[in-house]
Structure 1
Amino acid sequence: MSGKIPKHFINDLLYRTNIVEVIDSRIKLKKKGKNYQTHCPFHNDKTPSFTVSYEKQFYYCFGCNIHGNVIDFLINYENLNFIESIEELSLMHGLSIPFENNIIPNNNDYFKKQKLYLLTNQISQLYEKNLMLTSAAYNYLVHRGISKSIMEYFCIGFSNFTWDLFVKKLHINKKLETELLNNKIISINNKKKIYDPFQGRITFPIHDKYGRTIGFGGRTIKQILPKYINSTETSIFYKGNQIYGLYQVKKKHLKPKYLLVVEGYIDVIMLTQNNIDYVVSTLGTSITKEQIKILFRNTDTVIYCYDGDNAGRNAAWRTLKITLPYISDKKTVKFIVLPENEDPDTIIKKEGEQKFHLRIKNAITMSKFFFKNILKGIDLSSSDDKFHLSVNALPLINSIPSDTIQIYLRQILARIIGILDDYQFEKFLQQKMQKHKILKCTNKPTLMRTLIGLLVQNPNLSKLVNSTKKFKNSKIKGIPIFLEILKTCLENPSFNTGQLLEFYRNSKIIHILKILSTLDHMIVEEKIQNVFLDLLNNIYKKDLEKRQEYLISKERIHGLTKNEKKEIWSINKKLKNSE
């Protein structure tokens, strides 16, 4: 199939990749026995229930049952699709994806994206070079207090007011111009004139975590509206999935203590210039759920700092409401409320680095900020206002996944509206605990389920099976699946669980295999081989008994042929020897 990634390449990627290192670089793992554990990143985990096996190259959560290999982890944790996860692993190992059938690059999404990365980076370099050739743009930034070194650090650039001037100054050839047009980085207007969407604007390149330029923000240096614009969305740039400045932060801090979220590009740049190097921005737009997930993947504490006007305060309240479902016992948010008509850029210039650090230290906690805003316009002497307060506050509180935080906020709310009886909250706590109690309902662990499960979890057991001829005509349910898995394991003797599941990713039996890969058989490691062989013999014995019952039944009704009599004699002998 054109564009398909060879299975041998995927298998090689999995062989090269250590799932423990990949997960540990994102969420800290602790060694426990031969496995690694941590709190599950996919649900509100009170005790560490997320287990990673180096031996099996497999992860499993005993709380929410999510599981898989390193590709599944990247898909679920990084919100990638399958191809993107393969690209992620390929970049990690410095490999290129060898698509099958010598596909034409222009017809493949992967190659189209690689081309777009290249062109976006090229135009970024041209913008950056042009800034130093354009005194008006350069002086504008200097006037804003931005140093040349920080301009270079953030790769700030400038696009001329006309494309013709831009081409002339930077000697852009027709081939590059055509490629930029074909990829819609530049456009042609109704008058057949080429134009750049960022013409007349300072450009702020937006980088992904590998430092690749994926899009731009643009700020006009004249009184042209809108003041700020962003790149249109492409196959490599989704505005709601990007955080400006995160790449620069991660270059200095692999796991930041906190991330300070501001509104504008220049806010990020000016704070960074003043040694506050934990600063990011959501591209000047309202925060999205995906951006919140990205923030919390990189830190446990997010501090929102919005402009000190009504728009900034309203934006901060909207942000908290969107963030509540992602707050947990481990993940929290705080807020910095700036003085009226101030923003991070202006306040750092007035107060300096030390006073701004003090603002960060004294940031308002989530609970205080929540009630400060929810109580606006409420008259606590009015019964009607108390009722409306409860109606507005409880759904927001209930959106927080942590029971502990929910109860804490409910208690504060109860005291505010005058309920002093703690018994009501004890009752609530019991109800919540009962509601969230996880009852694991598993199917009866049949011999065949256990046998296949052991093989999936320990592919090297396949070496113990001397022959499969005796199962050739077996009628026992599950034997075809067992023989199929056995064949794959024998043909790929180095497979671990993660590689085996990847081999069957798009097959009809993958759902069954995923379930069986997580079963706890309660068997000590030293006895796994013996149990596997015993199960194999017991299933063979069961197969013989079923055939024996059939032949005995037939003998009573119709009688047996000469060959069938020999067969039943042989079965009786085999069953006797197995006792």
Structure 2
Amino acid sequence: MKRIANNFIDELLSHVDIVNVVDSRVSLKKAGRNLQACCPFHDEKTPSFTVSPTKQFYHCFGCGASGNAIRFVMEFEHLSFVDAVEKLAETYQIPVRYDQVDTVKQQKRKNLYDLLDETATYYTNNLYQPTGEKARKYLAMRQLDVETADFFRLGFSLPGNTLQRQFNGDFSNEDLTKAGLLAQGNNGAYDQFRERLMFPIRDARGRVLGFGARALGDAMPKYLNSSETDVFQKRFVLYGLYELLQSSTKVERLIVVEGYMDVIALYQKGILGAVATLGTAFTPEHLQLAQKYTHKIYICFDGDNAGKRAAERALSVILPVMRLDVEIRFVFLPDGEDPDTLVRQIGQKAFNAHLEKGVIFSEFVYESLIGDSQLEFVEGRGEVAARARKLFDELPNSDFKGLLYQGLKERLGMDIYQLSKPTIAERHPAAPFVPSQPSARHYGASQYRGTAESHLIRLLSMYPLLAVHVLHLSLIQQAQQPDALLLYKMIRYLQLHGNQPAVILHFSEHLNELERQRFHAIMTQENVGTLLPGETEETKNHRLHKEFVIMLENYLNRLRDKTIKRLEINYSAPIN
């Protein structure tokens, strides 16, 4: 992993003006000594995003996003720290200094990136020459327009061996081989890609890592990817991610498909979010990459038996690392259809509707465990219990595992670890721990202490609809107090799962043991809801609604003042 020299960061920031960095991406307006805009990191109508020219930092009072110019580029363009530093340095024409041990290695990687980029340009030029007519006819047959082809930087590799002649004197055969562009045969080196439609594979910064290629003649295989190199490992790359990031600053969802043409066809039909796994199975690294950009992921599979087997393999990859804040759906396509053909057949609206009909991940887990077993018979329930125990014993402990286990108990009407003697459960320490409900005696009247947050929690439990009034969740999350975190979780839960009164009954299932005890104490001992003299239920409800709104506003103002003071302290010294 490359390392930026420590003293280079200060040098870079001394040359960078955060106002220019932000304003080139988001339109800023003067607001006193600072500048403002609607935050690019969350949806809002009233500007709460502030940039300070004097202190060279930005802060959003809506979502809590905050940092210097490097942090802004990282968040806005979804780049790593090193990539953001390199991009800023390139913009301001400042040579990046790396730790000495990395200098040689970094130069070699840069040479590879330069070679691959020039090769992509060469292939693109070929596409629009007379020799590229076959490729252009293929694109026309697939109904891809010129704008889309240019956006994805498509190209054409000529028949025969042309790269050594094209780059003679600039890059050696060794360079071409290390970039995955040349292969070795009995008669020496030859072009890896010949007479093929070329798809440059780019990282989040837009650097070309390798190529995908489709044969336009009789060559086999029909689809071919670059071999893995120092800069290209398939399990870490999602084709189309760079193009998606250029289309939208906020990634609402990812639609994982199999082929390049699926990604491109969906884009041309106005369906954003499609990425492809480059002919390899969905990997833990793919999931980790996807989660950096969104919490909503659709994975498309063929509707036949092969597609179902692929979904089972994806399940085994995803389940050990699944998180509660991620929604994954398995989308099965009609037999004989892929995303490309399906979207052309049914259109954008119907395709999006088909995605929403996908099987939610936890439901697919249950379906896989139960299968064809007949639960009305002892034998069928035993089959499911055996499969489920094997699954849960192999999973690492996590919140998702605990909730999945609870859901299976409710679905089966039995505990798979309590089928005979209690000692069975003792022999399975990996089984999720499900604590019993705490009683009020854990918090006697003399022990209970209320807070502003606990009062808001109690009001929310009575009137869940009030959760819609909370727009600045990050301020509460950053308060770092136990009751503040509990309040944050409750509001987030209501906003995600609906705010009907019945929903609150299941909130405690999402808490740890200490949080559950505190929540129970608040529910039983926080004094809210008593009728005042001459008050009716209707007037009481009106009073408590107003009390919540006023109390919430005062509470958020206090948190906002604390945040400003903290930022003043943090940024009064040079930013490192």
The one of 269, 274, 291 aligned to 2:269:
274
- Is the CA contact 1:328–1:401 (under 8 Å) kept in the aligned structure 2? no
The CA distance in 1 between the partners of 2:334 and 2:397, in whole Å, is 33
C-alpha distance in structure 2 between counterparts of 1:363 and 1:494, whole Å: 51
Instruction: Choose the corresponding residue for 1:342, options 332, 337, 352.
Output: 337
> Cα 1:177–1:99, aligned 2, differ >3 Å: closer, same or farther?
closer
Deviation at 1:384, TM superposition (A): 4.2
Q: Deviations over 1:233-282 (max 9, x none)?
A: 22222211111101111112111211111111111111111111221111
Matched, 1:220 2:219: no
Aligned-pair CA distance for 1:494: 8.1
Distance 1:407 1:241 in 2: 29
| Alignment match, 1:95 | 94
What is the CA-CA distance between 1:374 and the residue it aligns to?
Answer: 2.6
Partner of residue 148 from structure 1, selected from 146, 149, 158: 146
Match of 2:135 in 1: 137
Report deviation, 1:304. Answer: 0.9
Partner of 1:116 in structure 2?
A: 112
| d(CA) in 1 for partners of 2:268, 2:115 | 29
- State the partner residue of 1:509: none
Paired residue secondary structure (2:337): coil
The reply to whether residue 324 of structure 1 matches residue 319 of structure 2 is: yes
Could you tell me how far 1:8 is from its partner in structure 2?
2.8
Q: How far apart in 1 are the matches of 2:388 and 2:413?
A: 15
In the TM superposition, 1:164-313 aligns within 5 A as: 164=162, 172-176=166-170, 178=172, 180-181=175-176, 183-187=178-182, 189-313=184-308
CA-to-partner distance for each residue in 1:518-570, whole Å, 9 max, x for gaps?
xxxxxxxxxxxxxxxxxxxxxxxxxxxxxxxxxxxxxxxxxxxxxxxxxxxxx
2:387 is equivalent to residue 392 of structure 1? yes
Partner of 2:157: 159
The residue number in structure 1 matching 2:434 is 428
Structure 2 Cα separation of the partners of residues 397 and 320 of structure 1: 13
SS at match of 1:302: strand
- 8 Å contact kept, 2:302–2:337: yes
**233 and 430 in structure 1: CA distance in 2 versus 1, 3 angstrom threshold:** farther
1:6 Cα shift? 4.9
Name the structure 1 match of 2:507.
none
* Deviation string, structure 1 residues 471-528 (Cα, Å, up to 9, x no partner): xxxxxxxxxxxxxxxxxxxxxx9855x73xxxxxxxxxxxxxxxxxxxxxxxxxxxxx
Following the alignment from structure 1 to structure 2, what is the Cα–Cα distance between the partners of residues 308 and 174?
Answer: 49
Contact 2:79 2:204 in 1 (8 A): no
> What's the counterpart of residue 8 of structure 2?
9
Q: Match of 1:108, SS? A: helix
RMSD value, Cα: 4.8
1:362 counterpart residue number: 357
SS of residue matched to 1:141: helix
What is the one-letter code of the residue matched to 2:284? K
Tell me how far apart the structure 2 counterparts of residues 144 and 52 of structure 1 sit (CA, whole Å). Answer: 43
Conserved 8 A contact 2:180-2:229: no
Compared CA separation, residues 260 and 93, structure 1 to 2 (3 A): farther
Stretches of structure 1 lacking an aligned partner (at least 5 in a row): 39-47, 58-68, 438-456, 462-492, 500-579
Q: Confirm or deny: 8 A CA contact 2:179 2:210 kept in the other structure.
A: no
Note closer, same or farther for the CA distance 1:226–1:373 as it changes in structure 2 (3 Å cut): farther
Give, as a single letter, the amino acid of the residue that structure 2 aligns with 1:8. N
Tell me if structure 2 keeps the 8 A contact 1:26–1:298: no
With over 3 angstroms needed to count, the CA separation of the structure-2 counterparts of 1:225 and 1:300, relative to structure 1, is same
CA deviations 1:139-181 (Å, max 9, x no partner) are 22322332333222211112123114x77xxx82522453653
Question: For residues 309-354 of structure 1, what are the alpha-carbon distances to aligned partners after superposition, in whole Å with 9 as ceiling and x for unaligned?
Answer: 2222222232233223443332211121111222112212222223
1:127 to 123, 127, 131: 123
Does the CA-based 8 Å contact 2:255-2:273 persist in structure 1?
Answer: yes
The amino acid across from 1:229 in the alignment is L
Secondary structure in structure 2 of the residue aligned to 1:155: coil
Contact kept? 1:308, 1:343, Cα under 8 Å: no
Maintained 8 Å contact 1:207/1:213: yes
Per the TM alignment, residue 426 of structure 1 is displaced from its structure 2 partner at its CA by: 12
Following the alignment from structure 1 to structure 2, what is the Cα–Cα distance between the partners of residues 234 and 332? 33
Structure 1 distance, partners of 2:432, 2:209, is 51
- 1:292 CA drift (Å): 0.7
1:294–1:395 distance in 2 versus 1, CA, 3 Å: farther
Q: How does 1:449-528 map to 2 (within 5 A)?
A: 499=576
Name the SS for the 1:202 alignment partner: strand
- 2:8 is matched by which residue type in structure 1? F
The secondary structure found in structure 1 opposite 2:206 is coil
Residue type of the alignment partner of 1:428 = V
Q: 1:90 to 1:315 in 2, by over 3 A?
A: farther
**What is the distance in 2 between the residues matched to 1:193 and 1:10?**
46
CA, structure 1 residues 418+223, in 2 after alignment: closer, same or farther (shift >3 Å)? farther
Q: Distance in 1 between matches of 2:228 and 2:346?
A: 38
Q: Residues 257 and 277 of structure 2 are in contact (CA less than 8 Å); yes or no, is this contact kept in structure 1?
A: yes
Cα deviations by residue, 1:95-132 (Å, 9 ceiling, x for unpaired): 3214589x9x9x71122222211110111111122223
The one-letter code sitting in structure 1 at the alignment partner of 2:434 is F
**1:163 corresponds to which letter in structure 2?**
N
8 A Cα contact 1:203 1:219, kept in partner: yes
* Counterpart Cα distance in 2 of 1:203 and 1:234: 18
Q: Deviations over 1:25-63 (max 9, x none)?
A: 8899999xx99899xxxxxxxxx9xx9875xx8xxxxxx
Q: Is the 8 A contact 2:254 2:273 kept in 1?
A: yes
For 1:175, give the aligned amino acid: G
Q: How far has the Cα of 1:14 moved from its partner?
A: 5.7
Check conservation: 2:254, 2:275, Cα contact below 8 A: yes
TM-superposed deviation, 1:372: 2.4
Please say if residues 183 and 192 of structure 2, whose CA atoms lie closer than 8 Å, have aligned partners that are also in contact.
no
Q: Which runs of 5+ in 2 are unaligned?
A: 26-38, 50-56, 419-424, 426-430, 438-510, 517-565
The CA deviation string for residues 161-206 of structure 1, in whole angstroms up to 9 with x for no partner, is 3114x77xxx825224536536444336344444111223221111
Q: TM-score, normalised by structure 1?
A: 0.59
Q: Deviations over 1:293-313 (max 9, x none)?
A: 111111110011122222222
Take 1:367 and 1:308, find their aligned partners in 2: how far apart are those partners? 19
The one-letter code sitting in structure 2 at the alignment partner of 1:433 is N
Change in 2 beyond 3 A, CA 1:417/1:270: same
User: Which one-letter code corresponds to 2:247 in the other structure?
Assistant: K
Q: SS of the counterpart of 2:309? A: helix
Q: Percent identity over the alignment?
A: 27
User: What is the CA–CA distance in structure 2 between the aligned matches of 1:214 and 1:173, rounded to whole Å?
Assistant: 18
